[in-house]
Amino acid sequence: MNTIKKILPAEWATQSAVMLTWPHTQTDWVELLDEVLPAFVQIAKEISQRQQLLIVCADKCQIQKQLTGCNLSNIRLVEVPSNDTWARDHGPLTIREGEQWKLLNFEFNGWGQKFEAALDNEITKHLFDQSVFQPEVLLENIPFVLEGGSVESDGKGTIMTTTQCMLSPFRNPGFTKEQIEEKVKAYFGAERVLWLENGHLEGDDTDAHIDTLARFCDAETIAYVQCTDRQEPHYEGLKKMEEELQQFRTASGMPYRLVPLPFATAVYNEDGERLPATYANFLIINGAILAPVYGAQEDEEVIQALQVAFPKHEIIPVNCRAVIEQNGSLHCLTMQFPEGVL
């Protein structure tokens, strides 16, 4: 039987564009718009200087006025209704199927029915219907709940994920771990799935998305959040996660090169609730890494660590202190499209 090869490209593969969903007054950002807009603008500026940027927004004219310092010739604004701004999870995942690019449009249910998400769940269909993508790009609507932040791909057939998120009873109830693994392999053309059973950040609404904890930097390298403070409540879980990563093997059977990222000093909102400040939530774009920083003492350390993981990339810090007020960070806000898609 002749089967067409599928692959979910790694994030470091050459990109045509990145997608942002811009905050507006009907989102949870309404009381924090002034505080969070500088982060969105900086992200837009850095991306638009290197590649195309697709911005999903409520009002094109209003957004254009906010894009100070951006390369407007590389920015496409598309008006689409939205509940929130987390493009990583409501945006499509792009696979290569033979010679064809295909957008996989999974169901998005607000991270296990925690938040209203009906508008966000329709964004990809709206973009496709408005001919945002190249005409040869296909769209497949998949009746299965899955968020982009829950899967990491090395671009060579390995997917890394977490049991806490993927086995959540409020996402795909009734499926066993084995059944979900088979679905993940089928959707992404994966040959194997690496499951992390430990690791979670207080304040994280996603049930331990992999992009808050551990990230592929190349097919042999994983950057991960390391906690060395035994008094820190996260210590035990992250230590067990580190031990799991040490047991993981590459497709060729070798241990991964592990690059530890510092654990950020605790950050709290005005109600005293801890926020999920994670340095693992970086974005890889063409020639650069956009690294979230939080005004913490570890900010400089993480820049150095990421330079070790990505020696050929420019490491660009982006202040995401305001972003984590809504319990996500930089990578969560974005979704990349491989070269040839947009």
Does residue 211 form part of some domain? yes
Does residue 265 form part of some domain? yes
Q: Within 10 A of 318 (CB to CB), how many other CB atoms are there?
A: 21
Give pLDDT, residue 73: 98
For the chain, how many helices (H) and strands (E)? 9, 19
Q: How many domains does the chain have?
A: 1
Per the structure block, which two tokens stand in for 40?
Answer: 């969105």
Q: Can you give the CATH number for the domain in which 42 is found?
A: 3.75.10.10
Does residue 151 form part of some domain? yes
SS3 266: coil
- Domain assignment of residue 56, given as a range: 6-338
Does residue 1 form part of some domain? no
Strands 257-261 and 221-225: parallel
Give pLDDT, residue 2: 52
Question: Taken in order 198, 199, 202, 208, is the CA torsion positive or negative?
Answer: negative
Give pLDDT, residue 4: 78
Does residue 294 form part of some domain? yes
Are 284 and 333 in contact, with CB atoms under 8 Å apart?
no
Partners of 239 in beta bridges: none
Which residues of the chain are modeled with pLDDT < 50?
Answer: 1
Q: State phi, psi for 269 to the nearest 5 degrees.
A: -85, 180
Distance in angstroms (rounded) separating the CA atoms of residues 330 and 288:
14
Give pLDDT, residue 326: 97
DSSP 73: G
User: Would the pTM of this model clear 0.95, i.e. be above it?
Assistant: yes
Render pLDDT for 83-123 as a digit per residue (tens, 0 to 9).
999 999 999 999 999 999 999 999 999 999 999 999 999 99
Question: What is the residue type of 224?
Answer: Y
